[in-house]
Chains A and B, each alone.
Chain A
Amino acid sequence: MSQQNSPNFSQDTVDVVVIGTGAGGAPLTARLAMAGRRVVALEAGPAFSARSHTPDEPAAQELYWLHERLSGGGTPQAFGGNNSGTGIGGSLLHYGAFLPRMDARDYRLFSESGKGVDWPFGAEELQPYVEEVERFIGVSGPAHYPWDADRHYAYPPLAPNMAALKMRQACDNVGLRHADGPVAVITKDHDQPHFGRREQCVNCGACHQGCRNGAKSGVDNTYLPLACAHGAELRPGCMATGFERDSQGRITAVIYVRNGREERQKCRAVVLSAGAVETARLLLNNGLANSSGQVGRNYMTHVSTQVWGIFDEETQPNKGYPSLTISEDMMRPKDADFAGGYLLQSLGMMPLTWAANLVRADGRRGEALSRTLAAYNYSAGIGMHGESLPSEKNRVTLSDEKDAFGLPKPRIDHTYGPNEEAMHHHASRLMVKMWESIGAKDIRIISRAAHMIGTCRMGMDAGAAVVNPYGRSFDIDNLWISDHSTFPSSGAANPALTIMALSLRTADAMLKQV
């Protein structure tokens, strides 16, 4: 997005510097600016033009966070797509826009199961913010949502592609309820305040490569234009590296690198919205806000196993919204041998992503692999997102290697525990059964983890959490965190909606104090 009549606060002491312009930073930036606060949002990446996004998958990697991470542990996670992004708008530039609400039971997992942790508040606390986000950014969904009779979506559902139709049929066969999923994609043209015309979805299928016509509801076409209209400054190309502090330890300026030169922005408060890895890395590298010893700990993902199969008729997986059909029936399966639950969704996919997932999980080679690639246009999948419990083993630390900024590269250790393994096997059995029930051939199970969650846990106890339930650091009272790093547990839902809702709630808390 472009910013017209942008203010330049670089010589001033602003009220707030926000580091990161994605789901965590953008709603809060808008809220604070609307309340008259002077806000600068620093973004490490560039300002992309939506029209210039390309469906070419290698080129679309420009939307990913490309500063190298070291992935370790027993289940090392693949980064790049489907977790962290760069550019004005953050990861929402490439997110899949699947926007389920976090299940109320997931806020109370420890009380329910004795595993994981409870959030310091329940779903009812976040509900008004969740609804506000959905209303403002634009979400499509069914007229009647089977798992929540009170829910309403502003836009009618997207057109189903073949994968969505196949999953409907499979759900019917095995007795699962299904619906068109809540999707942050608009199905009617809309004049977005302070942005302009957003066109309805044209089923191009390239959500993960960047939406070119404004149909996908990110923050580049919603909260950030709102923020700019109320005087916020977005400053792209600025990699935050450190802080200046006064004698009381309060932050007085953010140090960042722009065009190879170090600059500083004086401020009265700071919000970290850089994501589970970068927020933790910045704090660890500066030795800040870590009296609890919890910074970087309890890194979580979602168990995101996929099952793929090949059908007799063409499925054309690149066409249409990729993952329309949802089932929430597995949020608490009766025969579960694990805590928490998982969501199911249909899967179309762009070809390189599809093939890359396949070959990392499946040892086929030679003509068997050639034949499999030839079957792209006959493939369809089902996927799941499930609870991943916090674990001592899983964390972000600083490696000994330095990046181009001279900062230590982050190392992320990730290993599935028994709960994740049990959930993976449960979901695999179900999804295979579903695909068998509709005659899929060459059914393959792909074990994978998606999303990034945790590393700066919120809680009530300063000795066991990094921030309080509003995102404020226990150690530094003008430092706040607004992103998925504060999640005490992962829940099953894709995290974007919860991140945005928390962002508005943190902004409201800040307005009482900043």
Chain B
Amino acid sequence: MSYSPPPFLQSDHVSSRTRSILLRRMEQEQGRRENLSPEAFQLLETVCDDILPQQFLLGDLRLNLAVMIDQSLAGSGDGWRFAELPADLQAWEDGLTSLNQYAQALFSQNYTALHADQRGVVLDQAFDGTLPEHDQAVFSPEQMALWSGDLRHNIVSFFLAHPVVQDRLGISANMTGGDHIIQGFKADSLTDKEGFEPDHKRHFMAQS
């Protein structure tokens, strides 16, 4: 889905470098799968929606978090990984494959064919490390627990890194200052919003 850059990107409280990083991220989100297998990628799209449904926050707009994650898997990573997991791209391929294998073990169907509450059981048990032992699964229950942390970490990170999300949630974290004047935030307004910050307010108790 196409959308416009949010107004805060044009503010002189955003540096040129930060602006171009955020615009590039918007382009990246419009891209295509490059690294994961088609099967794993398709499964990842469903898992992203199950872990972080976007409608409550973005209405009709749905960001393709799976593409953003997929494209990040080609890089050199973030400096570390769990010793019990293989290198990043292989770990994601194996983790997603295993998700289907555990779905089969628990409910005799692939993950995407399950009801939402059954998919939730698979995800919860994977995160908690309580999946049943399964000889044929690529990842052990312990490995699934570790990878589930990476999975959730990447989903929320790519979501919040997107400028449209920052705008909708009223987040001014990238508005630390421009190229020549680094304005920051006024000392007497740290507990209030300033005029240049995105003005959307969303409270966790609010209904969609």
The chain A residues found within 8 Å of chain B, CB to CB, are 51-52, 54-59, 61, 64-72, 76, 78-80, 84, 159-162, 165, 199, 201-206, 212-213, 310, 313-316, 318-320, 350-352, 355-356, 358-360, 363, 365-367, 369-378, 399, 404, 411, 413, 442
Contacts and interface: CB of A to CB of B under 8 A. Distances in A.
22 contacts: A54-B17, A56-B21, A58-B25, A64-B79, A69-B80, A202-B184, A203-B190, A206-B173, A212-B177, A213-B182, A314-B191, A318-B172, A352-B156, A352-B160, A363-B124, A370-B54, A370-B57, A373-B57, A374-B56, A377-B171, A377-B202, A399-B83
Contact of B83 (A356, A370, A411): A411
B81 A359 contact: no
Interface stretch (B30-38, B45-53, B59-67, B95-103): B45-53
B115 interface: no
Nearest to A72: B83
Contact of A371 (B128, B170, B173, B204): B204
CB-based closest 8 A-B pairs:
A202-B184, A375-B204, A72-B83, A204-B176, A159-B187, A79-B80, A70-B83, A359-B152
A433 to B, nearest CB: 22
Interface string B175-208: 0110100111111101111000000011111100
A204 B204 contact: no
Contacts of B188: 159
B132 interface: no
B92 interface: no
Contacts of B159: 373
Nearest to B179: A51
Contacts of B73: none
Contact of A314 (B52, B124, B160, B193): B193
B146 to A, nearest CB: 8
B18 interface: yes
B84 interface: yes
B111 interface: no
Nearest to A310: B204
B185 A205 contact: yes
B22 A56 contact: yes
B190 A319 contact: yes
Contacts of B127: 363, 365
B177 A54 contact: no
B110 interface: no
B185 to A, nearest CB: 5
Given A365-B123, A442-B204, A66 B51 contact: no
A351 B166 CA distance: 9
Contacts of A58: 25, 157, 161
B182 A70 contact: no
A437 B182 CA distance: 37
A76 B82 contact: yes
A69 B149 CA distance: 17
Contacts of A66: 76-79
A76 B83 contact: yes
Contacts of B54: 370
Given A161-B190, A365-B50, A55 B18 contact: yes
B174 A55 contact: yes
A367 B51 CA distance: 8
Contacts of B25: 58
B63 to A, nearest CB: 13
Nearest to B150: A360
A65 B182 contact: no
A316 B190 contact: yes
Nearest to A199: B182
Given A54-B17, A68-B76, A367 B171 contact: no
Given A319-B172, A320-B187, A367-B53, 13 more contacts: A54-B21, A57-B161, A58-B157, A68-B76, A202-B185, A204-B177, A213-B177, A213-B184, A355-B156, A359-B152, A366-B51, A366-B52, A372-B204
Nearest to B125: A363
A356 B120 CA distance: 20
A369 B52 CA distance: 6
A56 B174 contact: yes
Contacts of B160: 351-352, 355, 373, 376
Contacts of A404: 76
